[in-house]
Chain A
Amino acid sequence: MKSLEIRNLQKTYFDPYAGTKVTAVQDVSLDIREGEFVSVVGPSGCGKTTILNMVAGFLPATGGEIRVGGRPVKGPGADRGVVFQSFALFPWKTVLDNVGFGPKMRGVPKAERDRIAREYLALAGLSHAADRYPNELSGGMQQRVGVVRALANDPDVLLMDEPFASVDAQTRMTLQEELTRIWQEKQHTVLFITHDVGEAVFLADRVVVLSKGRVMRDIPVTLPRPRVWDEVTEDEDFKRLSAEVLHMVRAA
Chain B
Amino acid sequence: MNPALQAWGYYARWTARWPGVAALVPFIPVVAIWWLVASLEVFPRAFFPGPAEVVRGFVDLTYKGILPAYLEDSVGRLLLGAGFGMAIGIPLGILVGLSQTAYRATWPIILFFQAIGDIAWLPILLIWFGFGLTTMTFVIVYTVVFPVVFNTVLGVRSVPRDLPRAALSLGAPRWRVLTEVILPGALPNIVTGLRNGLGYGWRALIAAEIIVGTSGIGFLMFDARRAGSATEIVLGMIVLGLLWYAVDAWILAPIERATGQRWGLVTRT
Give chain A's interface residues, CB within 8 Å of chain B. Answer: 56-58, 75-78, 80-82, 84, 86, 88-92, 101-102, 105-106, 133-136, 149-150, 153, 159
Pull 17 A–B residue pairs with CB atoms less than 8 Å apart, ordered by A: A76-B165, A76-B168, A77-B168, A81-B169, A82-B169, A86-B162, A88-B160, A88-B162, A90-B163, A90-B180, A91-B263, A92-B187, A105-B176, A135-B263, A149-B170, A150-B169, A150-B170
Number of A-B residue pairs with CB-CB distance less than 8 Å in the complex they form: 75
Residues of chain A within 8 A (CB-CB) of B26 are: none
> Of the candidates B166, B173, B176, which one forms a contact with A82 in the assembled complex, judged by CB atoms under 8 Å apart?
B166
Residues of chain A within 8 A (CB-CB) of B87 are: none
Residues of chain B within 8 A (CB-CB) of A153 are: 170-171
Cβ–Cβ contact A102 & B264, under 8 A: no
Complex Cα–Cα for A76 and B185 (A)? 21
Cβ–Cβ contact A77 & B169, under 8 A: yes
The verdict on A78 contacting B169 (CB below 8 Å), with A86-B160, A86-B162, A90-B181 known, is: yes
Residues of chain B within 8 A (CB-CB) of A159 are: 169
Chain A interface mostly: loop
B interface residues, how many (CB within 8 angstroms): 23
The verdict on A88 contacting B163 (CB below 8 Å), with A133-B262, A133-B264, A135-B264 known, is: yes
Give chain B's interface residues, CB within 8 Å of chain A. Answer: 160, 162-163, 165-173, 176, 180-181, 184-185, 187, 259, 262-265
Chain B: minimal CB distance from A92 (Å): 4
Cβ–Cβ contact A84 & B166, under 8 A: yes
Name which residue of chain A comes closest to B168, CB basis. A76
> Of the candidates B167, B173, B187, B263, which one forms a contact with A133 in the assembled complex, judged by CB atoms under 8 Å apart?
B263
Residues of chain A within 8 A (CB-CB) of B173 are: 105
Cβ–Cβ contact A78 & B160, under 8 A: no
Chain B interface mostly: helix
Residues of chain A within 8 A (CB-CB) of B162 are: 84, 86, 88
Chain B: minimal CB distance from A120 (Å): 13
Complex Cα–Cα for A56 and B164 (A)? 13
Identify the interface centre among A56, A84, A92, A159: most chain B CB within 10 Å of its CB. A92
Cβ–Cβ contact A82 & B165, under 8 A: yes
Name which residue of chain B comes closest to A105, CB basis. B171
Complex Cα–Cα for A86 and B171 (A)? 19
What 10 A-B pairs come out closest when comparing CB atoms?
Answer: A135-B264, A78-B171, A76-B168, A88-B162, A102-B170, A91-B263, A88-B166, A105-B171, A82-B169, A92-B184
Cβ–Cβ contact B167 & A101, under 8 A: yes
The verdict on A56 contacting B263 (CB below 8 Å), with A86-B160, A90-B181 known, is: no
The verdict on A56 contacting B169 (CB below 8 Å), with A84-B162, A90-B163, A92-B259 known, is: yes
Complex Cα–Cα for A56 and B265 (A)? 27
